[in-house]
Amino acid sequence: MDVVSSLWEQVSATSPPLPLWLLVLTAALAAALVLSPTLWQRARHSVTIAHEGAHGLAALVTGRRLAGIRLHSDTSGVTVSAGRPTGPGMVLTAAAGYTGPALFGLGAAALLAAGFAIGLLWALLLLLALLLVQIRNWYGLWSVLVTGTLVFAATWWLPAVGQSAFAAGVTWFLLLAAPKTVLELQAKRRSGTARDSDADQLARLTGLPGIVWVAVFLLVDGGALLLGGWWLLRDTAPL
């Protein structure tokens, strides 16, 4: 019980706000990961984890049975769930992929704004552990384990300020990366290489054109970026 109590005290501990310069630095580093073609090729795997995890979470919440998740080396992924092939549950599951990373980022921004940077890192570890048991291929297993190891290292070894800065960097990355993946999706749709994308699946499910769903994705992701960014910058510490 002492161990559990000690762990809970650590997870629920609040951290002081980061100074503005450090928060801006974490945003700049996250933007570099998103905007640099070389860095993006590697960093995008993390977005795929969030994307497929969001599909899986939406499937479970809507009562579908999650059959497994696969992550591939080309940054693509597949989430398989069983249930009705049409209806609200299937629509929400399909729509969760391109909005999930932004909504995860928005939730992370809310936790950071409330001072729960350490709690956020432990929440990420828990979500990755839950995702791990649903992975059905070796590359996916490797990808989630590497990501989890990085988050665990930050949680276990960084000082308090370092943990807050790392948590802020992850949050900025999710918020900034989500809209870029939607733009990439539309570029592939225009070139005819994404005929079975989430947007096109939603078009078949709802009758609304795929471009409408792309716009919905961008609206959600852009709104999350603006709101999450405001939450992060609202209560920064003095320089």
* Residue 17 located in a structural domain: no
> Of the candidates 174, 164, 146, which has an alpha carbon nearest to the alpha carbon of residue 71?
146
Dihedral over Cα of 114, 239, 33, 39: its sign: negative
* 12, part of any domain: no
Residue 24 lies in a domain: no
**Residue pLDDT, tens place only, 74-95:** 999 999 999 999 999 999 999 9
pLDDT in tens, 130-146: 999 999 999 999 999 99
Average pLDDT, the chain: 94
What tokens does 125 get?
A: 């570890």
100-104 mean pLDDT? 98
Give me the domain span that covers residue 221: 36-234
Predicted local distance difference test score (pLDDT) of residue 184: 97
Domain count, the chain: 1
pLDDT digits (tens, 9 = 90+) for 158-215: 999 999 999 999 999 999 999 999 999 999 999 998 889 999 999 999 999 999 999 9
